[in-house]
Amino acid sequence: MNLPITSRLKRVSALKKTRQQDSAIDPDNPSATVGGGTKSPDIITNESVTSEDPKLTSFKERCGKYGGVNSEAAAADGCVWSDDAKDPDPIVTNTQTTTPGENTTWEGTLKKTTKGDVFNPWETRAQSRSIKKEGRDNRRSDIKKAKNEARGAGTFDKDGVYTEGAELKGKAKREYIKKARQKAKAKELAFESREFEAASERNSKSRASGKRGGSTDVITGQRDKMQSELSPAEEKAMLKRQAIAAAAAAAAAAAKKKSPNPMKASSPYKMKGSMFQKRY
């Protein structure tokens, strides 16, 4: 039966529009990050230290034995006191200490807007038929493979290496194919359930935008930006930051491992009962 041209146009349009932009995440593609470092200002500390003049200190040490009383012995020793005399002024020493500011590094995950399409009812049906067909094709392929193996055909592993098989007869052959059918059907149902749930979630987010059916590129949320979406310069800067952070962490771990454990001070005496006994 030939369908009208309008129906065929709708089906072609549905295949073109059944997409969800930027919603799929590649598990092998790490999230992109942005970061950098900041340094706080240096702390400058000024300190003044007042000390006695060395000459006065020497005089006190040398003449203190005379008790501050003038005498011939004191004079002979160069120790003379006078009411008009004035002690030397204290010496003031100014010091300046500079404490370097702390380096602070930061790292964050970049985000990107996710977009999708608001499907019309016929687009949703086309998507549903596509999912069912994929599951059905996979099931039929698994069953055909099992029948071929039951006839003695070999199999190829993931590396493309062929392995000879053994032909099954009678009941063993029927049971093998029966189990393969059951397994293929369960696999098909699991695939459909997973795909329908994912499609329903994507379509629900698109409809939540409030846009009418057929609207495209509506914002549905955000996701982590992937490393492959960065420019070469941004990717190089990210990898450099990560390498520096990893090296710093390794150095800190090595320093912690080398540092000796503080030993507890032990007393030369140990208690035994209510008496102290010296330990040699």
pLDDT at 110: 83
pLDDT at 147: 92
Q: Which two tokens stand for residue 87?
A: 């002690």
pLDDT at 72: 78
| pLDDT tens series, the chain, 280 aa | 454 545 544 444 444 444 444 444 455 566 777 676 667 788 888 888 888 888 888 888 788 777 777 787 777 777 877 777 777 788 888 888 888 877 777 677 888 888 888 999 999 999 999 999 999 999 999 999 999 989 888 888 888 888 888 888 999 999 999 999 999 999 999 999 999 999 998 888 888 888 888 888 888 888 888 888 888 888 888 888 888 888 888 888 888 887 655 544 444 434 344 333 333 3
Beta carbons within 10 angstroms of residue 135's beta carbon: 22
d(CA 138, CA 119): 26
Helix (H) or strand (E) holding 254: helix 232-258
pLDDT at 261: 55
Find tokens 């000390």 and name the residue: 51
pLDDT at 26: 54
pLDDT at 28: 58
pLDDT at 219: 87
d(CA 52, CA 162): 97
- The long-range contacts involving 46-51, CB below 8 angstroms and separated by at least 24 positions, are 46/94, 46/95, 46/96, 47/94, 47/95, 47/96, 47/97, 48/92, 48/93, 48/94, 48/95, 49/92, 49/93, 49/94, 49/95, 50/90, 50/91, 50/92, 50/93, 51/90, 51/91, 51/93
Question: Which amino acid makes up residue 157?
Answer: D
pLDDT at 187: 96
pLDDT at 260: 59
Question: Which amino acid makes up residue 26?
Answer: D
